[in-house]
Structure formats: C-alpha cells, structure tokens
Amino acid sequence: MLACRAILLCVTTVLLWSNIATAQEYDWAIAKIPSHKEINDWNPVVGKIDGQQYLAIQLDTADKGQGDFRPVLVFARIKEGGTYEPLAAWRIENLNLDLTVEIKNNSIYVRHDTAHHGVHSSTYQFKRRAETFQLVGIERDSTTNDYNEKTQRQFSVRSRESLNLITAKAIISTQRTEMFATRENKKFAQKTVPVSELPPIQLKQFDPYNFNGDLLCHHFDDNLRLINSCKK
C-alpha cells in the first residue's frame, strides 16, 4: 500500500471545489509537481498510453506558511526533458484511501471504493478519443447481505456490471449464496443488456464521487429474474 501522499488516495467525506480546472489552475498544479529527479519520492502512478509516458500524482498545492492542506490529484503527460503537459486536476479535501488510479492498457483507470450497507467499487476507464481522454467503460462490483424474512434465510449477494460505452452494451451478473446453510446453496445469473446513451464525458470534467451513472434499465430480482425497470 502506498503512502497517503501517493495516488492511492482515500476520501470518506469529499468536498470537491471544482473538477473543471481552468488553464491557470492547471499551470498552478503543474508548478507544484516536484522535479523529475525528486518525483519518485512522491510515489506517482506512471504508465504508457500510445507509447507516451503519463502520470497521476497527488500533491499539496497550499502555499507555504498558510497552515492548510489543499491536495490536488493531477493527471499529466510526461514530455521530453521531464516537463509536464496537464490533462486534468481534481481538487479534493479529505483524504482516506478510497480513490485509486492506474495507468495501463493505453487507459487511465480511476477506482472509487465505498463501504455503506455493503462493499462497493466503481472503476472508470478513460481512453484518448478525439484528442481528449473520455470515459469509455465502467465496472461496478457490489457485495451485500440480504435477509429473507419469510424463509428466515440470509444470503450474500455479489453483483457486477461491466459497461462498454462505445458499444452501448453491458454484461450484468448476480450471484446469491446462502449463508450458514448446511449444504451449498448458490445461484448465478448473467445477461448482456443495452446501455442508455451518454454524451461524451472528459477526464477533466469527471466527478468520481457524484457521477450519476444510472445507465441500465435491467437488473436481477431476488429470484434472479431479469427485470426491466424502464418498461412501463
């Protein structure tokens, strides 16, 4: 696990000042990135996209002597000579290790983990399209407990949604496993379903904490029957 000054950041109560940084704010954030020789001390995430090096790093952009802490999550391309071309700067306030970034497979992945009435994660994939990094995929995982009052049985429910925003299709699946059963009682269902249309979302405009990503009409009920909630 990397230190909290690394890109593996956590945010339990998050207040975003602004996810859309102006050019001036980008320059301000870029100016805070340590020199090429010192940057490894900050544990950045570095990876290649289309043969070029990119990084994501969390920095404290507060001016010295102010006595406050103003972390910024910066995405940038590493240019020749060790300079940086900014892609986006997300400014967040409280840190708690629930936001993780990876750069691999010619993509930037941002994962947001939460633990409220279960364990949940959402991973957002950004790829370079039309000269900007755009959201192209979403992967959601959720593990919850479900208690059936009628049968007095308890189940562990694992659900997954894998959305491809380019093809407008998603693979959804649910597995229900009875807990404390004398014999294994496990049921599984999977289906490919359509995804609702979504206008292009750029990395610099994205808010992983308040993204309204209700793009699916279909889900499985307690009996693993496919339900279309959009159908009247």
Pair (110, 93) in one structural domain: no
Pair (123, 231) in one structural domain: yes
Please give the residue range of the domain that contains residue 127.
Answer: 105-232
Contact (CB, 8 A) for 201 and 176: no
Four-point Cα dihedral 30, 31, 33, 35, nearest 10: 130
Q: How many CA atoms lie within 13 A of 227 on its CB side?
A: 9
Pair (68, 183) in one structural domain: no
Pair (50, 117) in one structural domain: no
Pair (199, 130) in one structural domain: yes
Pair (19, 55) in one structural domain: yes
Examine the fold and report which residue of 98, 115, 139 is the final residue of a domain before the chain moves on. 98
What type of residue sits at position 40?
N
SS3 126: strand
Structural domain count, the chain:
2
- Residue ranges in the chain assigned as alpha helix (H): 23-32
Rounded distance, CA 139 to CA 161, Å? 6
pLDDT tens-digit profile, the chain (232 residues) = 333 333 333 333 233 334 444 444 566 666 667 666 666 666 789 999 999 999 998 776 666 666 676 777 889 998 888 788 888 888 765 555 678 899 999 999 999 888 888 999 999 999 999 889 999 999 999 999 988 878 778 899 999 999 999 999 999 999 999 888 878 889 999 999 999 988 999 998 898 888 877 899 999 998 899 999 887 5
Pair (182, 230) in one structural domain: yes
Pair (61, 121) in one structural domain: no
Examine the fold and report which residue of 64, 98, 132 is the final residue of a domain before the chain moves on. 98
Pair (67, 124) in one structural domain: no
The pTM for the full model equals 0.81
Structure tokens at 22: 């102006």
Pair (228, 186) in one structural domain: yes
